[in-house]
């Protein structure tokens, strides 16, 4: 039997305003649309992996409000096991999102119930955590819980991929326990507190610094520029993004992480898994919303066929010795 992917993270209701552009500080503009979508970085990753056809369990919290029931139902309808989703006193997590015409966004998250996902609740989920083939986490839950998870992963020799979002500094002890870290450009700056030059050279330098911090494998997410992989084994690769018309990039990173984890769990190479992840993310940006934008496995296969990428060939990309 396949070991499940277990996602430990946030579950939010996204309140999304579509506007021509993101307003500036102090500015009022007229929006074009308002929608609610199921979101939360953790739940998005869980739903994306489940829609790709991989067994997924979610460990997280919803509040005992009306949103909580809807959010749990949303996860279950997508095929995510919610046995370890707790209902706690108080409001569910929400995210206030504005999207602009070119797919860009800004987001304010109010964690609510996600802030009550304590290490104690992870202890209660030990049975599923121990069975995990891959653990995925993000930073919309308390840092002490992520730290507990990293120690658990190390003790049980289970790979852990951390999406360090929203951006913040992290203790070196935590970084050393990660199998993969997958920051975007803002998160990389925040982690390293250093500005790097624009373009590939700056990204390579940033990835190298993260390896120096003790993370085993680094995957930098570079938006429409694609992604860059750096591993302790002296390999660095940049994989371009697919060219698509983006309407909403919310949760592109979540789609990517889920696709990457599913690829690796299915035994694909790192590069092939990153190409698969890029396809999952590219499809997601062509659709509005977080969880509704996640593609099925068949949709990704069709997309890859249309872009002349078959499973037989391993495309070659820039590869540099460190
Ligand atoms: P988010 O916070 O919006 O969920 P992120 O900032 O964590 O995303 P990004 O680097 O923006 O992550 O995007 C993740 C991946 O999604 C990229 O590496 C790329 O493969 C894909 N992607 C993002 N934007 C686009 C785009 N406009 N066109 C095609 N692919 C994209
Ligand atoms: O990564 C996108 C997600 O960030 C949104 O769904 C929102 O809930 C915030 O958590």
Q: Give the mean pLDDT of 154-169.
A: 97
- Helix 270-285 and helix 297-306, axial crossing angle in degrees, nearest 10: 100
pLDDT surpasses 80 at 319: no
Q: Is 226 in the pocket of ligand 1 (CB under 6 A)?
A: yes
Q: How far is CA 161 from the centre of its chain?
A: 9
The pLDDT value given to residue 117:
98
The pLDDT value given to residue 308:
76
Q: Is 248 in the pocket of ligand 1 (CB under 6 A)?
A: no
Spatial distance between the Cα atoms of 182 and 218, rounded to a whole number of angstroms: 6
Cα(132) to centroid(ligand 2), Å? 24
Helices assigned H by DSSP within the chain:
41-51, 66-77, 119-124, 126-131, 143-156, 172-176, 185-192, 200-212, 252-265, 270-285, 297-306
Cα(108) to centroid(ligand 2), Å? 9
The 10s digit of each residue's pLDDT in 279-315 is 999 999 999 999 999 999 999 999 999 997 755 556 5
Confidence of residue 4 (pLDDT cuts 50, 70, 90): very high
Q: Both tokens of residue 82?
A: 């919610």
Strand order in the sheet with 227-231: 81-88, 56-63, 5-8, 134-137, 160-162, 180-181, 217-221, 227-231, 235-239, 319-321
Query: Which atom in ligand 2 lies closest to the alpha carbon of residue 290?
Result: 6
Identify how many contiguous H helices and E strands the chain contains and give both numbers.
11, 14
The 10s digit of each residue's pLDDT in 56-92 is 999 999 999 999 999 999 999 999 999 999 999 999 9
Please enumerate, as own/partner, the contacts of 233-236 that have beta carbons within 8 Å and a separation of 24 or more.
234/321, 234/322, 235/319, 235/322, 236/204, 236/207, 236/318, 236/319, 236/320, 236/322
- CA nearest ligand 1 atom 21, residue: 281
> Nearest to residue 61, comparing CAs of 127, 137, 136, 112?
112
The pLDDT value given to residue 238:
87
Q: Both tokens of residue 117?
A: 């996902």
- CA nearest ligand 1 atom 8, residue: 253
Determine which of 36-40, 177-181, 191-195 has the lowest per-residue pLDDT on average.
191-195
Are the C-beta atoms of 57 and 4 separated by less than 8 Å?
yes
Count of other CB atoms within 10 angstroms of residue 89: 9
Q: Is 12 in the pocket of ligand 2 (CB under 6 A)?
A: yes
Cα(251) to centroid(ligand 2), Å? 6
CATH of domain 5-321: 3.40.1190.20
Residue keyed to tokens 């330098």 = 205
pLDDT surpasses 90 at 236: no
Structural domain spans, the chain: 5-321
Please state, for a pLDDT cut of 90, what percent of the chain lies above it.
87
Tell me which ligand sits closest to the C-alpha of residue 141: 2
Cα(213) to centroid(ligand 1), Å? 24
- CA nearest ligand 2 atom 6, residue: 39
> Nearest to residue 154, comparing CAs of 221, 215, 231, 233?
215
Residue keyed to tokens 């997309």 = 303
Active site amino acids: 254
Q: Is 303 in the pocket of ligand 1 (CB under 6 A)?
A: no
Confidence of residue 180 (pLDDT cuts 50, 70, 90): very high
Tell me which ligand sits closest to the C-alpha of residue 94: 2
- CA nearest ligand 1 atom 17, residue: 223
Q: Give the mean pLDDT of 268-274.
A: 94
* DSSP 3-state of 107: strand
Cα(255) to centroid(ligand 1), Å? 9
């Amino acid at each position: 039997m396949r070991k499940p992917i277990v996602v430990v993270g946030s579950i939010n209701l996204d309140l999304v305003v579509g506007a021509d552009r993101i307003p500036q500080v102090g500015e009022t503009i007229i929006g074009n649309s308002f929608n609610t979508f199921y979101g939360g970085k953790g739940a998005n990753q869980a739903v994306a992996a489940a829609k790709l056809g991989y067994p997924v369990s979610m460990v997280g919290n919803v509040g005992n409000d009306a949103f909580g029931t809807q959010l749990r139902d949303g996860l279950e309808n997508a095929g995510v096991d919610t046995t370890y989703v707790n209902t706690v006193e108080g409001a569910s997590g929400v995210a206030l999102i504005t999207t602009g015409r070119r797919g860009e966004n800004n987001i304010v998250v109010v964690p609510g119930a996600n802030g009550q996902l304590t290490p104690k609740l992870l202890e209660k989920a030990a049975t599923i955590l121990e069975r995990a083939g891959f653990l995925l986490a993000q930073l919309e839950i308390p840092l002490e819980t992520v730290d507990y998870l990293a120690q658990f992963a190390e003790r049980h020799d289970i790979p852990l991929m951390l999406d360090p979002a929203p951006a913040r500094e992290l203790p070196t002890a935590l970084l050393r326990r990660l199998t993969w870290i997958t920051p975007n450009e803002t998160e990389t700056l925040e982690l390293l507190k250093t500005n790097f030059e624009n373009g590939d050279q700056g990204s390579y330098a940033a990835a190298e610094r993260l390896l120096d911090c003790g993370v085993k494998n680094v995957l930098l997410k570079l938006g429409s520029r694609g992604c860059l992989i750096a591993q302790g084994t002296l390999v660095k690769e940049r994989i371009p993004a697919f060219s698509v018309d983006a309407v909403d990039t919310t949760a592109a990173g979540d789609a990517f992480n889920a696709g990457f984890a599913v690829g690796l769990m299915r035994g694909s190479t790192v590069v092939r898994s990153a190409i698969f992840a890029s396809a999952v993310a590219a499809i997601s940006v062509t659709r509005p919303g977080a969880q509704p934008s996640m593609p099925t496995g068949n949709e990704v296969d069709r997309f890859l066929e249309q872009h002349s990428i078959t499973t037989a060939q391993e495309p070659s990309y820039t590869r540099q010795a460190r």
